[in-house]
Structure formats: C-alpha cells, structure tokens
Structure 1
Amino acid sequence: MRLLTDGTELLVGRDGELSRLAAWVRDVAAGRGRAVLVDGEPGIGKSALVRAACTAAADAGCQVYWGAGDELGQALPLLPLLDALRITPVTRDPRRDGISELLGGGAVADQGADLAAAAAEQLVALVDELCQDGPAVLVVDELQWADTTTVAVWSRLARSVRQLPLLLVGVLRPVPRRDDLRSLFRMVRPAERLRVGRLAEPAVLELVAALAGGKPGARLEELAGDAAGNPLYLTELIDALARSSCLEVDTAGIVELTGTATPDSLPEAIADRLGFLSEAARTVLRAAALLGDSFAVGDLVTVRNCSLAELLPALDEARAAGVLVAAGDDLAFRHPLIRHALYDEMPAAVRVAWHQDAALALVEANAPVERVARQLLPMVSTTDSRVPVPDWAAQWLLKVATPLIGQAPVVAVALLRRAVRDTPLDDALTGALAGRLADAYYRVGNLAQAERIALRALDRVRDPDVRVELHTTVLQCRATTGRSAESLAALNEALTQPGLQAPHRARLMVLIARTRRDLGEIAAAHRAASAALTELGSDEDRWSTGWALHVLSLVAMTRGDWAGALPLFERAMAVVRGDPELIDLTLLLRINQSVTFGALDRYTDALTAAGQARELADRTGSVVRLTEVQSALGRLLLGAGRWDDALAEVDVVADERKDPNVVCCDRGVAAIIHFHRGEPAAARRHLDVAALYSERIGDRVVEPLARARSLAFEHAGAPDRALAVLTAVLAREDAGEDLLGEVARLAVTVGDERIAAEMAARARAIAAEPTVSHRRALALYCRGLLERDGTMLLRAADGYRDAGRPLSQAKALEAAAIAFAGARDEDRGSARAAFTHAIDVYTELDAQWDVARLRALFRALGIRRGPTVKHRQTTRGWDSLTPTEGRIAALVVEGLSNPQIAARLYLSRRTVGTHVSHILTKLDVHSRIDIAREAARHQSASG
C-alpha cells in the first residue's frame, strides 16, 4: 500500500502497521478508546504513519489533535498538549481560555500554587469534554522530549481511555528512555505498542523507485542499501542526487547513478538540502530554529523585528524546498533533524546571543512567560559560564517569578540562580531575587539549598518585606524536616530589629505561633497568635490575620473545643476570601473546617466544606492539599457509613503523590472497611502499603491506621494484642477521642476492668458539650460496657444513630444484646431485639465479618436472628454496583461527561473517574457505550 501524506514522504512497506492503526481508528470511531505507543528510530516514518491514521480518523468524523515535544522546550510544562489542544495566550474559547489565563499567572497569584498541576487538571477535564463532542484522536509526537507534567497527563489519560472515545497516541524514539517513559511502556499493553522498524529490502527498492521515477539500477540499489532501511535517509538521499543531476533514467526505465559525490550520512544529506537555499532564507530559518520544531509566525515576526511581508519570500522558499510544512495555524520544520542541522551550525556563543535578543523582543511584545523563559534557558545551560544575565532579564525574572515558579519551578531555579550570581551583592534586586530562588528550591524539594540561600540572604537583606519572606522559607524548610525548633531563636531575634512596622512584627509573631504549634506547644502557640492579632490592631494585613486565626482554630481543635473552632474558621474565611495570594490558607481552613463539622456530627456541612476545598485544590493545582482533603473525605465517609464511597476516595490520587501521613491514613481507612467486610487479604495488602510509608512519619499518630492494625489482631484471634495497639496510641498527648470506645470494648473483652474504667472516666469528661451527640453516646457506651447495662447501651446506640455513625451504633447494639443475654431470663427478648437490630445495621454496611461473628456468638446462647435483610453479595454484574455507582451509571447512560456528572453529584472529576472505572470492571465492559448497552439489557431482563 502506498499512501501519499504531505508530499514529502511515501508510505511503502507499511501495510501491517497501517492495518493496526486503521483498526484502532475504527474502534475509537465506534466509541472504544485505547492508549497506544508508536516507537522507532529517528526518520523511520513513525510520524508519517500516525499522520496517515489521523487523516483516516478525520475522514471517519473524529476530532484530531496533534502536538509535539521538542528538545528546547522540554523544561517547560505542558507545551505539547497546549499546542495540540489549541490553547494560546488569547484562545477566545470558554473551554480553553481558563487554562491560558492560569498559565499566564492571571488566575492564581498564590505563591504556593502549582500552576502546572492546576493546568494539568483542567487539561484532563478539557479532553473529557471534547470527547463528548465526538470521538477524538490525541497525538503527542516526539514524546521523548516532552516535559514530565505532559507525560504524567498522558499517563492519566491512558488510565481513563476505557471511559472515553479517545485514541491516545504517543510517538517517541527508543532513546532517551527516562523513568517516566519506561512507566508508560509498562502501562500500555504489548498489543497496543507499535514498533516501527527499518524497511525490508523489497520495500526499500519500491520506495527508491517511487522517489527516483524508475527502477533503481545496480549502483543506485547498492547506495540505497547503505541507508539501512531508513525512509527519511532514503528520501533525503534521492532528493540530493536529483538536485545534483546525478540520476538518469534510461529507455528501459532504469534509474542509473551518474555522479560520484553522494551524501555519506543522513546529516550530510540534510545539509545538502539546506545548501540549495538562499542565504536570506537560511537566516530566517536560523531564527525560526531558535523557536523550536514548530513555531508561530507571529513570534518569528517579533524575533526578526520585521513585517510578515518581508518574511514571506523566505518562508515560501523554505516550503518549496521541503524544509518547512504547515502545522495548523503555525509552521514546522518537516523533520526535527532538519531544525537540528540549522541550529547546530551556529556557534554556541552566537546561539546564546540570538536567544537573548529573541527573549528581549518577546518581553517587549508581552509574550507569555514560558516563551520568554524558553529563550533564556540556553543562556544558563551553556558551558560558557561567562555569559551574564542582562539587567532587563533580571528585572523581568523578579516581575514574573511567582507564575514562573508555579508553572515551571525547575526552570525558575536555573534562571534565578544565574540572575542572583550576576547581580551586585549590594543591589536590593539581589535580595529579592534570592528570596524567589529560595522559594523555587523549596518548591522543587531541595530543602537544604533553599534554606542555605535564604539564610545567606538574611545576612545582607534589609528590606523588612523580603526578610519576612526569607524567614517564612526557612521555617517551611525546617518544619518539613522536623527542625521547627531551630527557627524560634532567629524569629524572636528578628522581632527586636529596629524599623519594623506593625505588619512585619505581626507576620513574625504568626511564624512563631505556627512553629510553637508544630512543636506541640499549644498554649504558647495560642499566646503568639493572639499577640499577632493584638499587634495588628486596626491595621489591615490579611496574611497575618488569616494565619493567626488559623493557628487559633488549630489550637481549639487540638483541645477538643470543636464548637469554639467554628467561629474562628468563619472569621478567617471572611478575611482571606477572594485573595489569590492566600489560596493555600483558604484550603487549609476549608479542610479543617470540614473535619470540625464532622467532629460535631454535622456530616452534611462537613461534606460540603470538603467538597469546596477539593474543588479549589483541583482548580489551583495544589496536589498536597488535594490529597489532604481526599483523606479527610475518606474519614468522614467511613464514619458516616458510606464505605463504598470512602474506598473510591482512597483510590483517587496515587500514593506516590501523597504525603506519607496521608497514605497511612487512607490505607488505614481502606483496611478498616475490608476487615469489617470479611476481606482480610485485601485489608492486609493496604496495611503492607502503609508499612512502607509509616517509617517516614516517625511516631506521629495516625488513628485510622492504628484502628486497622488493631483489627488485624482481632481477626487473628488476639484481642489482647489488639488492645495493646490502641492503648499505646492513647498514651500519646495528641491522641484523639475516637479510640476511647474501641479501647473500652476490647478491655471488657479481655477482662481488664481498670482500663475500661479509665476509658469511661475519660469519655465522661469530654461529654460536657451538650450539642455533640456522639460524645454523649460515647460516655454512655463506655459506662454501659463497664457496668454491663443493656439499657444504657441502647441509649448509646440511639445517640450514635442521631450522630450519623452507623458502625458505632451497631457496636453499641451488639454490646446491649450481650448485656441483656447475660442478665435475667426475662431480658432475652430485649437481647434478641438488640441482636437483630445490630445485625441489620451491620448488614446495611455490608460488614459481613461482624454479621458472621455476632451470629456465631448468639447461636451459642441459643438466640437466632430475626428476618434476613438483603445485602449485596455479588461482585460482578449490574446488581454489584453500589448506590453511588448506580447513580453515576445512570448519568453515563444519559450521555453526561465525567465533569458534568461531578457537577451534578457534587463529586470531584477524579472521584467520578474512579467510580466509572469500577463500573466498567464490574460490568466487564470496555466503554461508556457498553455501559448503556448493559443498562438496557438489565432493564429488559428486570421487566
């Protein structure tokens, strides 16, 4: 089969590859998505094959999106996807302009915001929405040069292709093979990898004949054999011979080689092509080579400082010579190797100077940050360290530091490091740049370097605003490494410096308050935060006020004063609302507010607050806060008895992107559920994962993990060891109240009256708050266990029911049944009623281990349960879907996208994606269309 692509290559000898690509196109047109990798050496024809498939896809009615990585831009995030999805500085498309604004720094100003992560979230959502318009093909060519964020988004999309009519294609070379690219090969099944190899000899001769216009003679055939089956080399070779008039067709149609000067290599053949261009065209092309493998004509006009009319002759000549091709609204080099040849022929010093001039031109044209940074990077990557950073570049870096650090912290480190080196030591600009550099190092995880730079800058910077920022960075570095105490002396000394105004003093006091709180010095933290508010008086400093109120709310939470924490949250939220520089604090407040609502049994309010925090974390790209809010949601859903939803939240974000403390908490939640459901193998797998991360959090208390480890011993028939796990945790000062009931129950089980009495006393002490149902229920539960009072335990069960905590309710009912069964004969009716009610609640939770355990216990007492309550037993098919999965499946059938379902059900897009993945697995189907078919079949079968 021969398919003419863009006039520069013929596809010969590729029938097998084209057949596989065509089958994948037919599948996506029918609604079945997949992710594929196409790899092979440079010039082997990978892109030509995929372009042919894209042409077929467009003819079949699919949307086609194409972007490519390039070596110059690999340090900047998401450029291939932004190009593919047509996201420009001014997109004028409501589905795209938010991403453009975000990466330009206009949507988020918080210094801690991860703009690349935020844009990645929105890109994933955009692809989902575009797929609702119809089947789509998304290609990332030259994937080996793509940045890590692009590869991560490709990976996420690859995991969701079963949910979308999306053919996701990655095209790449065998080398360089980074770790993240290797993971893609592990993810994509062998059946969906296409290795493009060298052409066999018959195909080589066929291609040469097509290019040369006749059957190759012996000398030409021998020369073609030296091309090692590489189509690009063959094309360049024949074109070079044709330009040199070295080919002659005889009367029999045989192409003979008449000359002796032939290119010895592919680079030499490309150089021969470029040699036929005029010097004016080569000058324009060198400038274009500075911009990358593809480029906007407008940028070339800016860099050349001329009109488009002046450039057109050179561009037309380059296109006629097969050097440039159209790439949507832009132009591109026909092959990256051609751009490399132009780029590499310039001396390094000349290239750097040209890049600097291009950067200045783009700055003056108000070009996006990443385009300017791309031109400055060669200045810092050159081996010639004498190349200085111009003054205008240092000023520009300071101006755009916040969005640049948020979007590309690695690039920010490289540029700021050179700028700090090249500005005078006594220049005020140096101190400000050093502060930004320290923050950039902190963002990339190099805490030691961030701390060193910030401390050095503190020795010479006198600007109080910059000094406070530097102290903040030092504190963050030390807090992350468990060295918060080291900052106290420096912060207290900083308070004594002359010339400080009230806002500066307040900010330092806030840092002291945060440090004291991190060290567990609750009273001292309260004093410092209160002093900061007093220092401010009537002055408006939203940062200091918001953070001081945040510390006070944490103090209240730690003291168990949940009701007292709520007004502090409200005050703080009123202060920070709408301030883009305080997004991270806003997230912290929302997350802790949701935890507080849960502690007050206000689950609806808790889930609403958590949902707001999750939406904001998704929108701003705060992965750390996103994982924290997902973890908080998991704990809330565990307590509320929505266990299937809790398990889905655990799976939303990969463990490697979470804080170790969050991983331990999430895995603990999942293990608890699996133990109660009689799935100990699954529970222990979660505990094994948690064990890998628990070493990294020291002796920090993670209550769900402690509960899960205790349950593991219960399952093993060792209640004494289960009790020991929890009593060790409760001995800690920072242990919460949720474990008191479990310790009391296990103490009664093993006959330890002393511990049971201690738990009852502690529960009675915290039950003073009359509006918190679960605290009153906890006091009744512990006392009822100690006194074996069935009536009191029933009252505890009612309290837990009112609090919306079904597992605790079932345990109280179980204890009541046991207490009644061990009392007088006339109480056996009460025992039976409590036993039946407990079984019903456990069954609603699908807590089969508890059901089986309780039935066995009461059979020995001669008490049988009441009517059987139906519960979900099947793990496959429509009836295995959870209530949430059932609602989501119904919305899938309606044709809603994941973002639309998320908005309808107040879930995150990630959570919906997790549920849809579970639905596909349970129904054993491969696409959303298949879900609709299964729904129709189920409806028909059920009448």
Structure 2
Amino acid sequence: MRPLTDGTELLVGRDGELSRLAAWVCDVAAGRGRAVLVDGEPGIGKSALVRAGCTAAAGAGCQVYWGAGDELGQSLPLLPLLDALQITASTQDPRRGAIAELLRGRATAGKGTDLAAAAAEQVIVLVEELCLDGPVVLVVDELQWADRTTVAVWGRLVRSVRQLPLLLIGVTRPVPRRDDLRSLFRLVGPEGRLRLGRLAEPAVLELVAALAGGKPGDELEALAADAAGNPLYLTELLDALSRSSCLDVGDAGVVELTGGATPDSLPEAIADRLGFLTEAARTVLRAAALLGDGFSVADLATVTNCSLAELLPALDEARAAGVLVAADDDLAFRHPLIRKALYDEMPTAVRIAWHQSAAWALAEASAPVDRVARQLLPMVSTTDSRLPVPPWAVRWLLDVATSLIGQAPAAAVALLRRAVRDAPLDDAVTGALACRLADAYFGVGNIAQAERIACRALDRVRDPDVLIDLHTTVLQCRALTGCLPESLVVLEDAVSRPGLQTRHRVRLLVLIARAQRELGEVDIADRVATQALAELGEVEDRWTTGWALYVLSMVAMTRGEWAKALPLFERAIVIVRGDPALIDLTLRLRINQSVSYGALNRYTDALAAAGQARDLADRTGSAVRLTQVQSALGQLLLGAGRWDDALAEVDVIPDDRKDPSVVCCDHGVAAIIHFHRGEAAAAQWHVDVAATYSERIGDQVVELLVRARSLAFEYAGAPDKALAALLEGLNGEDAGEDLLGDAARLAVANNDAQAAEAIGARVRAIAAESTVPHRRALAEYCTGLLDRDATALLRAADGYRDASRPLSRAKALEAAATAFAEGPADDRGSARAAFTHALDLYTELGAQWDVVRLRARFRAFGIRRGPTVKHRQTTHGWDSLTPTEGKIAALVVEGLSNPQIAARLYLSPRTVGTHVSHILTKLGVSSRIDIAREAARHQPASG
C-alpha cells in the first residue's frame, strides 16, 4: 500500500487542481459521491496531488483507502483493491476474511469457477458497507498497471457513486491506455477528468526556489528549464546537485551552480540518488524491487533469509536517502520509477533466478498463492528464459492449481503450460499437469485449446481418477462446441475396457448419460443413469449418485414430468450438500428445481430455490450459474406479474458476462414488459440488443425473444407478421408452450384456420392428462378461442388465476368479453363483467398498451369503464416509484446499506443496487441523502 502522506512533497502551481479536488472532498463529506480520473505523465505530481486531497478528506472525517497497481502484478486479480481495503487472510474483520478465503479457493464451484469475479462482487459489497460507516475516499494509483478485474470493479463502482458517499479516484498515465481504461474515461465524462500538465515557468521557478533554499540563478534556472516542468525530475535534479555540493547560496539569497556533472534525464537523476547507497542497502532494495512498488517487510525478510534486525540498517538508510517511505505497516518505493530503476539494472537472467528463489522462499513460508505465483510469472513471461520449472514448483502448482485457476486463470495457464513443456514425457505427473492446464484454458474461455490438451492427455494418462477428470473436461468442452457425438464414442470405448473398478465404471456411465441427455436422447440417458445407480449399489459415491440423479431429473423435466422431477432434485441436493467438489452440481440442481417449481406454478417455492442458488453462486464464484439464476428469476417474476422486480433482476449483470442465449432471454423479458407498458422505444432497444447476440446462438430458439419480436410486429400493427414470428419459433418439437397461447390468439385474429387447427392439436397433446393448472388453462384458452366459446375462456381465466399468471388471465378474460359481445346472445352484461376484470388486471400490471387497446376495442360495443385510480401513469417523481422501490426507498431513509436492505427483503445486493439506481433516476436526484430529502417532502402527503 502506498503512503497517504509524505511531508517531503511540495505542491506548487496546482492551485486550480487542488480547488477542484477540495470541492469533491466537500461533496463526499456531505454524502454526494463522484468518480474522478487523474491523469498525466510519470512524475508530474498526480499522486502528490491526490495525497493532499486525501489528507483533507481524512481531516473532514472521511475514511481513506489507497491501493496501487503494479507492473509485476497485472496477471493477478484485484491486488490494488485488496491492498487498499486491507483484505488479508489474517484480518480480524470477518467481511475481509471471507473475501481472502474465497480467493484462496476454500469453496469453489468447480471447472470454470471465477473466484476473481466472486471476490469482486464481495469487494463491491464491502465498499458499500464501509460507506455506511461514513464517507469513503477510495484511490487506485497507477491504474494503468491494474489487472482487468480491478478495472472492471472500478467501473462498477463508478455506476454506484450516485448511491453512495464515495469519492472514487483513479490515478493513471496516458500510456499504456488499454480499451478498458478508455471506457473508464467515457464513464466519468469530462467533468470527472483531472488532467495534470507540466508546470508553467513561474511554478517551476517557485519549486526550484523551495527545493534549493533560495532564488535560482541564471544557470540553475536554465538547467531547471530542461526538466520540462516535471516536478519529480526537478526534485531529483535538485537533490542530485545538493548531494554533489554543486549548489551555493550567495549573500543575496541567489542559488548558483558551482560546477560538476549534472543529470541530464530523470532516469540518470534517479540513478544518481541510488548511487549514494551502500552496496548492502542496494542488495536489499533489489530484493524489495522483486516484490513490487509496495511490499511487506515480512516478505522481504523471507526472500532475503534475513532477520528484521539484519534488514533494519539497510531499510533505515534507504528511507533516509528518500528511496523508501512508510506505507501503513509496510514500506513502498517513494516513486515507481525508483523501483523500476533498481529492477531494470539487474540482468534478465539474474532477475529471473532471484524471482525463482523468492518464489521458493515464499512457498516454503506458506505465503498466499498469488504472492508465490507473482514471483514465478517472470520466469515464464520472459521470452529468452531457458530456466525449466523446478520440481518444487511443479509440486506446488499441482497442490494449488484449483485455487490458482479460479483466482487467476491466465496466470495458471502461463505457469502450467511451461510446467507441462518441461516435464518428461513419461513422467506420471505430466498427465495431472495437463489435466489442470486444460482446466485453466477452460477457465479463460479458450474451449478449443482446453479440449485439445485434454484429448492429447487421454492417450498418455493411466491414472483412472485423472482419466475421469479429463473425460469430464472434454465432455464440458464438446457440450459447448456441439461436438458431443465424438465425446460419446470415446466414453463408450472407455467404459467397455476390461479391468475397470466399479467406482470408475459408474462415473463413466454417468458421463455417457449426461452426453446422451445433451444430445436429446432422453430415453437412453434415463436408462444409463439408472444403470449407473444400480451398479453402484450400496457403495457411497456422492459424485456418481448426485450426477445420476441430476440426469434423471433433467430427463423428467424434458418430458414435462415436473412433479416427478422435484423429489429427484430434493434427493440429489441432500446427497451433494456441503461437498466443495460438487458445488456446481448443487447450483444446477437448485436452478432447475426453481424452474420446475415455476412450471408447477409454485412461485413462492421457485423464488426461494432461485434465491438459494443465487447466494451459493455469489459465495463460490460461479459466474455462469449466477447469470443463469438471475435470468431464471427474471422469467419467474415475469410470469408472476412482478414486472418491476423482473426488470431489476435481468438488469443486474452486464451482458458481456452472460452466455448469448441468456442475454437473449433477459432482453426478451425486458422487451415484453416494455411493449405491454406502451414503452415502445425501450422495448425495441432490448429487441435490437438481443438481435446482436442471437446471431451467436445459431438455430437455438429463445422463446422469450420470439415473443418479444412478435409483440414488436403486433405493436406496429402487423398481426400477420406477429403470427409468422411465433409460428417460426414453434418449428422445433420441444419449443412453444409459452408461445402457443399468443399464436392461437393471432391465428384467430388473422382468420388463419390452418394455423389455428395445428396449434389447437398441439395444445391438446401437451395438456392431455396434465394436472398442471396453466396447461389445463392453456387448453381451455385455445379451445375457447377456436370455438369462440366464452364459457371455456372463463374457465381458462380461472385456471390462470389458480396458476398465478395474471397476464394470461387478463388475455383470457379479454377474449371471453369479446366472445360474449360478439356472440349470438349478445350478452353485454357478461361482456362488461369480463372486460372490467381484464381491465383491472392490465391496470395492476401497468400494461398501459393493453389498457388503451382494450378500451378502444370495447368502445365499439358500447362498453366503457370510467377513469380508475391512476396506476403507473407517471414515470418520474415520487408517485412513479413501484411498491418494491417504495420499500427500498424507505429503508434507504432509515440509513440501511444495500447489503442490509437485501437481507431485509431477501434480495441480492446487486438487485437492490439496481432498484436504487432506478429510484435516483425517477426522482432526478444524485444521492441517497437526496432520496431521504424527497421522502421527507412527501411524508405529509403519504400520511
């Protein structure tokens, strides 16, 4: 961690920048957050300026946290933020300790687990909780060296500053300017950018006078001009001249040069400073330079094999020479360029050997995985390095591979790839290394390379446990690339080999069953999974039993036997619960259990199961499962008529972190809601975004997106095209239960008898002998539409009521009202009653488009409904808040943080954050304090 104060720094010529920074500090102290990027060339005074602002912030009662990126640590995630927030395994704070434990991989969701993503979410929650204790200033210095996860978290926090008393400051250089850093500049906007240029001549002379102790003479003034207005260069230049006794203060207070050599560049000036150190101090500092810009004294003692007493003289000398400064309980180089000078003066071969020695010492001391990996990485990232991975490092890699892959898969790829290259071909360890390397490539998303490595290893590995692991990796890869038949051939060959132990044979059978189910061969999958359980008998094998039951439950879901699937899920969850190796399976079971409950219209149970899955995915870092469960929540809430909550859930995770099919589902949910609410522009935006992702999923049918596209045509007055879109989506054998009702309605509206009859037959087949309320309601609905039978349509409405599907119920009531009004009996009384019930339901949903359409249609029958209580008529202001937003606003007023509100309402902190953002937008305010102020203004009106 870098120092927050340094009394040796002089700020000259920065009055304007200091004034802006002081204003931002005043704002955050008053509860109004902001994100700021301070940029400028190295040595221009960025850090000094921000430290001055942090000193002022601390004086104003703010909590100040400071971390810095490091060129040596770019492959390891979150280091600047972990450093800033004091997140270590030894911390006494349980919040910080939980993040440290997560990154150590104590509980992960298996292959593809993104521990960094999970830790990033927890870091965001921690920042929010810290903001509850008081205003926070969080600085990430040297942001250009930060890892991509840190930059992503910084960007997420930028979007939250309106909700928090948080002043978020990033300090960066103009180069290197990565794409993710460019996006941060767009996020903060021009008003959040503070660019530091070179000092003007008057400021240069003022700084030189302060450093030299008098007015500079002509020669010194000319020499200072060569520093090009860079404060660090000026400081190093004056210090070098002072050390060389090249300055003389005359009687008039004018400082003159007295001759001698002068540094002609900043690197030369820094070298001059280092040249005054003893060789013993330089040796210690070279070791420190291996550890980064900031370092732990304990780590330095470990890598130098010296006691603290032996190190103190060198450290004291370095601090006296202005090379090192204190940074809380640790030390740091006064400027990164000083560390770089020490680091670069070592020959590459020597430097790499030192890194390797440091890695061994840290590993022997049981240092965290990231610290050891940081020392090994230069050995594999330097192109001319010929050093093999030493045997101890191979053993270490195998021990920590799962944690390292989850935490830093790119670093794991680099290290494991070199270890595999250097291992002997006949070494039994090679297979295990290759297996872990395949997992690492899977972790970084290079599925093709993961598959290639795993397949090659299958030919060499003899250890049956490693073979099963490799087959699992290949199966997962090929499931994503559509090449499962090839994997199935290999698996069937493997299971037929003689001499297999029962444990290994049944595991191979389970993999075969999984492949067959993925290929749509549900009967074969059913048979093979059942066989695996039978052969296992009374032998306890949680992996085999859990996965076999999972396959059987998925087979039941595919067949539409939802009630049969539930006990299978429950039995499997009991078996796998608490097993760290089966977390991904637990997540799959919970998510699909939620879907099954939803299909049976048991929404309370469905939402509870989804909530449990979301919490587990959060804790264990399963980004893939987290996006799936968030999408499942959105779909459940859409069906249950909780549309505002649905919009919040599908908006929680950025699109670039989701599978393309999940993106299409989520935007489909949002588009459907916006179309029904008459918000055509917003709806069409979601359809258009989904279209860019649908190209990546080929022929896969995403029913929610099909519904959205059909609604777009219907909204535009093209019911024939709306029907065509639905019929295209119904082409697949398994597609369509949620599409059939709208297809039947549009077929009748378009007088398409052929389509109507085909849809009716399909519905009757689905609903035959079904006890699921919404399926029986669907059959009544389609029958009523085709036969214009108002009574059947009312039965459908009752069925949808029992199924808790308000939109479908409203449509059935609307159709019943039409049938009554158009029927031979011309039953206006029944028509009016059905119309009124439909109108009330649409109004409660906020389905303004349906309300307007329904009123217009029934005016032709002379049926009208007077003005009702306004519901969601306004889109801005206090009255526009939804019930959920109103509850959250009330809890904000109480002073609760997002995590506390989430716990109170059984939501995720992300979802609460989305709701708070919507509240701020609707109220047109910029902070949580403003929400409280608005609540106070409306309190008399609300009672």
Q: Shorter chain as normaliser: what TM range?
A: over 0.9
Q: Distance in 1 between matches of 2:112 and 2:444?
A: 12
1:397 maps onto 2:397 in alignment: yes
What is the RMSD computed on CA atoms of the aligned residues? 1.4
> SS state of the match for residue 738, structure 1?
helix
Q: Distance in 2 between matches of 1:74 and 1:826?
A: 75
1:533 maps onto 2:533 in alignment: yes
For the Cα contact (< 8 Å) 2:109–2:620, is it kept in 1?
Answer: no
Using the TM superposition, give the Cα deviation of residue 822 of structure 1 relative to its aligned residue in structure 2, in angstroms: 1.4
Aligned twin of 2:311: 311
1:785 maps onto 2:785 in alignment: yes
Aligned twin of 2:638: 638
- The answer to which of 593-602 and 496-505 deviates more is 496-505
Q: Distance in 2 between matches of 1:737 and 1:216?
A: 85
1:346 maps onto 2:341 in alignment: no
Q: Distance in 2 between matches of 1:385 and 1:535?
A: 52
Amino acid in structure 2 at the alignment position of 1:745? R
Q: What does 1:106-255 align with in structure 2 at a 5 Å threshold? A: 106-108=106-108, 110-255=110-255
- The answer to which of 435-444 and 534-543 deviates more is 534-543
> SS state of the match for residue 852, structure 2?
helix
Amino acid in structure 2 at the alignment position of 1:121? E
Aligned twin of 1:73: 73
Q: Distance in 2 between matches of 1:545 and 1:376?
A: 40
For the Cα contact (< 8 Å) 2:109–2:621, is it kept in 1?
Answer: no
Structure 1 615/863 Cα, relative in aligned 2: closer, same or farther at 3 Å?
Answer: same
Q: Distance in 2 between matches of 1:182 and 1:499?
A: 59
> SS state of the match for residue 233, structure 2?
helix
Using the TM superposition, give the Cα deviation of residue 478 of structure 1 relative to its aligned residue in structure 2, in angstroms: 1.6
Cα deviation, 1:381-400, whole Å, max 9, x if unaligned, reads 12224211100000000000
Q: Distance in 2 between matches of 1:500 and 1:90?
A: 46
Cα deviation, 1:534-566, whole Å, max 9, x if unaligned, reads 222222222222111111111111111111110
Aligned twin of 1:524: 524
Q: Distance in 1 between matches of 2:885 and 2:942?
A: 19
Cα deviation, 1:226-263, whole Å, max 9, x if unaligned, reads 00000000000000000000000000000000023000
Q: TM-score scaled to structure 2, two decimals?
A: 0.98
Q: Distance in 2 between matches of 1:666 and 1:109?
A: 24
Q: What does 1:826-845 align with in structure 2 at a 5 Å threshold? A: 827-845=827-845
Aligned twin of 2:745: 745
Q: Distance in 2 between matches of 1:607 and 1:515?
A: 29
1:549 maps onto 2:519 in alignment: no
Aligned twin of 1:464: 464
Amino acid in structure 1 at the alignment position of 2:813? L
Aligned twin of 1:424: 424
Q: What does 1:428-507 align with in structure 2 at a 5 Å threshold? A: 428-507=428-507
For the Cα contact (< 8 Å) 1:31–1:135, is it kept in 2?
Answer: yes
> SS state of the match for residue 485, structure 1?
helix
1:588 maps onto 2:583 in alignment: no
Cα deviation, 1:571-624, whole Å, max 9, x if unaligned, reads 111111001111111111111111110100100111111111111112222111
1:39 maps onto 2:36 in alignment: no
Aligned twin of 2:260: 260
Using the TM superposition, give the Cα deviation of residue 335 of structure 1 relative to its aligned residue in structure 2, in angstroms: 0.3
Cα deviation, 1:61-114, whole Å, max 9, x if unaligned, reads 000000001111111001100000001221111121101111122243734421
1:366 maps onto 2:366 in alignment: yes
Amino acid in structure 2 at the alignment position of 1:565? A
Aligned twin of 1:298: 298
Q: Distance in 1 between matches of 2:652 and 2:701?
A: 23
- The answer to which of 663-672 and 239-248 deviates more is 663-672
> SS state of the match for residue 653, structure 1?
coil
Give the length in aligned residue pairs.
940
- The answer to which of 464-473 and 756-765 deviates more is 756-765
Using the TM superposition, give the Cα deviation of residue 868 of structure 1 relative to its aligned residue in structure 2, in angstroms: 2.3
Cα deviation, 1:180-199, whole Å, max 9, x if unaligned, reads 10110111110110001100
Using the TM superposition, give the Cα deviation of residue 787 of structure 1 relative to its aligned residue in structure 2, in angstroms: 1.6
- The answer to which of 857-866 and 19-28 deviates more is 857-866
Aligned twin of 1:720: 720
Aligned twin of 2:759: 759
Amino acid in structure 2 at the alignment position of 1:542? R
Q: What does 1:515-914 align with in structure 2 at a 5 Å threshold? A: 515-768=515-768, 771-825=771-825, 827-865=827-865, 868-914=868-914
Q: Which runs of 5+ in 1 are unaligned?
A: none
Amino acid in structure 2 at the alignment position of 1:529? A
Q: Distance in 1 between matches of 2:212 and 2:885?
A: 61
Cα deviation, 1:434-467, whole Å, max 9, x if unaligned, reads 1000110111112222122111111111111111
Q: Distance in 1 between matches of 2:503 and 2:808?
A: 48
Structure 1 11/769 Cα, relative in aligned 2: closer, same or farther at 3 Å?
Answer: farther
Amino acid in structure 1 at the alignment position of 2:74? Q
- The answer to which of 689-698 and 710-719 deviates more is 710-719
Q: Distance in 1 between matches of 2:918 and 2:43?
A: 41
Amino acid in structure 2 at the alignment position of 1:490? V
For the Cα contact (< 8 Å) 1:701–1:734, is it kept in 2?
Answer: no
Q: Distance in 1 between matches of 2:112 and 2:667?
A: 27
- The answer to which of 822-831 and 541-550 deviates more is 822-831
Amino acid in structure 2 at the alignment position of 1:256? E
Amino acid in structure 1 at the alignment position of 2:702? V
Amino acid in structure 2 at the alignment position of 1:56? A
Using the TM superposition, give the Cα deviation of residue 520 of structure 1 relative to its aligned residue in structure 2, in angstroms: 1.6
For the Cα contact (< 8 Å) 2:138–2:167, is it kept in 1?
Answer: yes
Q: Distance in 2 between matches of 1:817 and 1:558?
A: 36
For the Cα contact (< 8 Å) 2:112–2:442, is it kept in 1?
Answer: no
- The answer to which of 295-304 and 531-540 deviates more is 531-540
Q: TM-score scaled to structure 1, two decimals?
A: 0.98
Using the TM superposition, give the Cα deviation of residue 718 of structure 1 relative to its aligned residue in structure 2, in angstroms: 2.1
Using the TM superposition, give the Cα deviation of residue 632 of structure 1 relative to its aligned residue in structure 2, in angstroms: 0.7
Q: Distance in 1 between matches of 2:93 and 2:807?
A: 49
- The answer to which of 467-476 and 633-642 deviates more is 467-476
> SS state of the match for residue 198, structure 2?
coil
Q: Distance in 2 between matches of 1:373 and 1:769?
A: 60
For the Cα contact (< 8 Å) 2:37–2:169, is it kept in 1?
Answer: yes
Aligned twin of 1:287: 287
Cα deviation, 1:201-247, whole Å, max 9, x if unaligned, reads 00000000000000000000000000000000000000000000000
1:330 maps onto 2:330 in alignment: yes
Displacement over 4 Å in runs of 4+: 768-771
Using the TM superposition, give the Cα deviation of residue 300 of structure 1 relative to its aligned residue in structure 2, in angstroms: 0.6
Q: Distance in 1 between matches of 2:664 and 2:577?
A: 32
- The answer to which of 559-568 and 817-826 deviates more is 817-826
- The answer to which of 292-301 and 465-474 deviates more is 465-474
> SS state of the match for residue 451, structure 1?
helix
Cα deviation, 1:113-160, whole Å, max 9, x if unaligned, reads 211111111100000000000001000000000000000111101110
For the Cα contact (< 8 Å) 1:552–1:568, is it kept in 2?
Answer: yes
Q: Which runs of 5+ in 2 are unaligned?
A: none
Using the TM superposition, give the Cα deviation of residue 522 of structure 1 relative to its aligned residue in structure 2, in angstroms: 1.7
> SS state of the match for residue 139, structure 1?
strand
Amino acid in structure 2 at the alignment position of 1:603? Y
Amino acid in structure 2 at the alignment position of 1:752? D
> SS state of the match for residue 474, structure 1?
helix
